Structure 1
Amino acid sequence: SIPMGVRKNTPKVAEEGRVHIVKAGETLYGISRKYKVKVDQIKKWNNLQSESLNIDQRISIGKQLEADEILEESLPFPGARKHFVQTSETLEQISAKRNVSMDSLKKWNNLRSNDLRIGQIIWYRNYDRSSEPMTVKEVFGKKIEQGVAKQIEDMEDTDKYLALHKTLPSGTLLEVRNLMNNKKVFVRVVGQLPAAGLNENVIVRLTPKSFKRLGILDARAQVEITYYDD
């Protein structure tokens, strides 16, 4: 029995909206019993699609956990944000949706394969490289450029794999690689890309068919182009 005047040491009620840090061996059922709430409530508060948990995962109890309530020191890396894996969602789709490379996602989340499970937390960081200057290097006689690609606008014949480049002559064959998913396509330069205005930070413009082949879903993408500069 508990002596009079001594309050029993029970967890805070759900209405206070606290955060529980998952420990090894803990389950959603066990956490729900601890805080006297239902498993479905915890899943709703945390947008969980399954009952799978990770060690050190932050579980909100009592309210939806907002982004600004996540303490910086609790994040796996500065500026980290959460993505919850949905049904049938792949790492490639998350890469395209969050505009980060698959290699970065695997590194940040210690993934050894591309296999994912529903409800799994994938940490990512928003990083806009659109204002970065183009990088150029030469390897075994090949020129390699990395930077932003956009679509060609107002071109009559767009059902081909074509490109506009700032310096390369028409007829030059380029290998273009999408840095987000490693998909590649060969395109032929058919004209010069003006260096000013909307093309200031763009290294190449591609036809819509080329964008589709590369799996680019947005208006721009980070690409690598390889060619021989005779």
Structure 2
Amino acid sequence: MVKSILSIVLFGFSAGAVQAQDTLQVQGTSPALYISHVVKKGENFYSLSRAYGLPPKEIAAANKVNMEQGLQLGRSIHIPLTAANFSQKAGAAGKPVYHKVTDKETLYRVSVNYNKVPLDNIRQWNNFSGDGLKKDSYVIIGYMKAAGVASEPAPKVEKVKEKALPVKEAAETTVTLSPPPPPPAKDPVKKEPETHPVAEETTPAPAPAPAAAKPAAANSSADFEQLYDQQTNSGKKADTEKGPGTWFKSNAVGKYYALHNTAPRGTIIKVTNPLNGKSVYAKVLDVIPQMKANAGLIIKLSDSAMQALGSNESRFYCELSYEK
């Protein structure tokens, strides 16, 4: 009886709020991703459950520990990253989970290793403009969304607020614009419509706006073509290759990317569809993964290039040209 009372009292002390670790570093490989938590004084399965958003039994099972045995002080516990407590969506919020970059690691390889998180999401979370990674740097690959973790401010939360503010301001301006209509009935407002110069100024302004938006995509693709000409001396110093290719999913707009086994990263490859003569210029991100489905392929292109090449086949025959 005394032991049961003591256990209840101890549980009451240990049931206090537990804060997740300051820096969350991902470990393991897809789909068995996890983070490590070192048990501190007063922590138990229930407090860890509240901090990391997972059922106590699931944490115990992941560590092959009987819940009745409790947790040992200083022990490293695996906290699984699942759909319940971990998000890699574009609008994810909470506490960032980091990956430490290893030597010669690419952004594409990080994406593949961690649930194939979209490259554009990684770029947005880390404010990347390109695909280069520096050894020993830390890259955000998702966010913990547990209640105990989300209470701490995270970079992503701030970005969401910054984007939300302009929308609210716009809403407020529309509300403030609605009251002015009553005064137009007065004489001073009648004088304003008579001033036609205002209309003349507004007509030229919209014209440049759409013109600037369209070239953005075209220029980005043209950049790769210019790089190709520089690398190959306008095609004079180029190797050619013929064979089957296929596609991979990408959110890139206006640019095409490729996986190739021999061309170094950053090489621009000219890919031609011999059936219709259409060509695209794609930048090499990494090598083609060694999988049975990729056997015999000479290239994998981002799916945005599919329409540009005029192909709708899962595999297609193509001709490649790139720097020797």
TM superposition score normalised by structure 2: 0.26
Q: Say which structure, 1 or 2, has more relative contact order (CA 8 Å, 6+ apart).
A: 1
Is the radius of gyration larger for structure 1 or structure 2? Answer: 2
TM superposition score normalised by structure 1: 0.36
